[in-house]
Amino acid sequence: MERTVKFTEGHQIFRESFRRFLMKEIGDRYPQWEEAGIVPRDIWKKFGDNGYLVPWAPEQYGGAGADWLYSVIITEELARYGASGLFVPLHNDIVAPYIHSYGTEEQRERWLPGCITGDTILAVAMTEPEAGSDLAAIRTTARRDGDSWVLNGQKTFISNAHLADLVVVAARTGGKETAPHQAMSLFAVERDAPGFSRGELIKKIGLKAQDTAELFFDDCRIPAGNILGEEGQGFIYLMQKLQQERLVCALGSQAAAEKGLEITIEYVKERKLFGKPLSKFQNTQFLLADLASQITAGRCFIDELINNHVAGRDVTKETCMAKYWVCEMAMHVADRCLQLFGGYGYCTEYMISRFFVDARIQTIYAGTSEVMKLIVSRLMGL
């Protein structure tokens, strides 16, 4: 089925070039990164050297000034390659926009060039041990002390935690009398900030190459000029960027589901059972037809959302729907596809096993499926 997103010839050339880049620079090294629990910094530099980091950034900061469809391609191809633990989409399309949209010109000139070259890797720190999807409940605080801000608190499940050179941190700046939605501000914390430390890598069942860890702020002192935007507007800023964040999650899940189905179709055509290909059994045919139908519905939905998002339309409700439905669908697809691989699907040498474990987190981070349904119901006036 032809996609409704209007990719130009330039986009298609970029996609093919990026695929070759992944084959060359990642190749079969990814399992080694999973063992280490982290992606080497040199791969980030190679992404930067080839123009794959923050491609939408204006040329004045060293970017290509490209449209957002180039980011879509990067996210899709990383997911299809099975390299979901390499969190370039987080860097490109979730964290960097905070700097570009809410930073001062001095902040943009100071940080964006490094984000584009790969010298500055980004992370965002929102989640806390007692505050996940409920951002208004965060306890990390920031108080003004002369020409500095002093942060205290703990963040958990932070992606790019060890690699990050710059972390956008959400912290409370208002007192108890301040409404939760007006008590939060965003701060840029640099790697060498006094009082900033990182915990050990968290061992996970999936996304094993992703360096996920806790972050600690113990009287962490940063310059007063490292606040992003206006004091007390942090919650609003986060809400304004969640549409793109949730869409990024959904389109990655969509691409992974499509690739999972492709490799499963290839496998069942070759795998013999009782003297004939597994693909010739009605159960296999019906299951794959069902999965293909769900994936096609997801693709139609995702592409429509991409078009609307690029056009600047408010599709908050629909991206929450996609974050919920597409990610759940992708998890189901990975599970059913693995079943067709039999015992081999449980072996890490088969890519379907990675799609299976990596799909599980998609229904949890960036807002759980349950929270997405809650938001949708509220936006329906319920």
> What CA dihedral angle connects 375, 376, 380 and 382, to 10 degrees?
-50
Contact present, 255 and 76 (Cβ < 8 Å): yes
Residue 306: per-residue pLDDT: 98
Name the maximum alpha-carbon separation found in the chain: 78
Q: What architecture is domain 236-379? A: Up-down Bundle (1.20)
Residue 163 pLDDT exceeds 90: yes
The CATH number assigned to the domain with range 123-235 reads 2.40.110.10
Instruction: Tell me the C-alpha distance between 153 and 244, whole Å.
Output: 27
Nearest to residue 135, comparing CAs of 209, 224, 245? 245
Q: pLDDT-derived band of residue 178, with 50, 70 and 90 as boundaries?
A: confident
- Check residue 12 and give its pLDDT: 98
**pLDDT band of 180, cuts 50, 70, 90:** confident
If you average pLDDT over residues 112-141, what whole number do you get? 92
Task: Give the model confidence (pLDDT) of 320-332 as tens digits.
Answer: 999 999 999 999 9
pLDDT tens digits along 48-80:
999 999 999 999 999 999 999 999 999 999 999
Q: What is the pLDDT of residues 352-367, one digit of tens each?
A: 999 999 999 999 999 9
Give 199-230 pLDDT, tens digit per residue: 999 999 999 999 999 999 999 999 999 999 99
310 has a pLDDT exceeding 80: yes
Residue 344 banded pLDDT, cuts 50, 70, 90: very high
- What is the percent of the chain with per-residue pLDDT over 90, rounded to a whole number? 95
pLDDT (0 to 100) of residue 132: 75
Q: What is the pLDDT of residue 179?
A: 79
Note the pLDDT tens digit of each residue in 251-297.
Answer: 999 999 999 999 999 999 999 999 999 999 999 999 999 999 999 99
The pLDDT assigned to 309 comes to 98
Domain boundaries, the chain: 9-120, 123-235, 236-379
The pLDDT assigned to 119 comes to 98
CA torsion through residues 219, 220, 225, 231, sign: negative
- What's the whole-number average pLDDT of the chain? 96
Asked if 245 is an active-site residue, the reply is yes
- Identify the CATH assignment for 9-120 out of 1.10.287.610, 1.10.540.10, 1.10.443.10, 1.10.1740.10: 1.10.540.10
Identify the sign of the CA torsion 296, 300, 303, 305: negative
Average pLDDT over every residue of 121-144? 90
Which pLDDT belongs to residue 174?
Answer: 82
Give the tens place of pLDDT for each residue, 10-27.
Answer: 999 999 999 999 999 999
pLDDT for the residue numbered 36: 97
Please compute the mean of the pLDDT values over residues 233-261 and round it to a whole number.
Answer: 96
What pLDDT is stored for residue 177 in this prediction?
75
Selected catalytic residue, list 214, 245, 258, 318: 245
Measured CA distances, 327 to 163, 268, 295, 310, 363 (Å): 26, 24, 11, 21, 6
Dihedral sign from CA coordinates of 218, 202, 120, 54: negative
Q: How confident is the model at residue 133 (pLDDT cuts 50, 70, 90)?
A: confident
Q: Is 217 helix (H, G, I), strand (E, B) or coil?
A: strand
Distance between CA atoms of residues 215 and 234, nearest Å: 19
pLDDT class of 314 with cuts at 50, 70, 90: very high
pLDDT band per the 50, 70, 90 thresholds, residue 166: very high
**What's this model's pTM, rounded to 2 decimal places?**
0.96
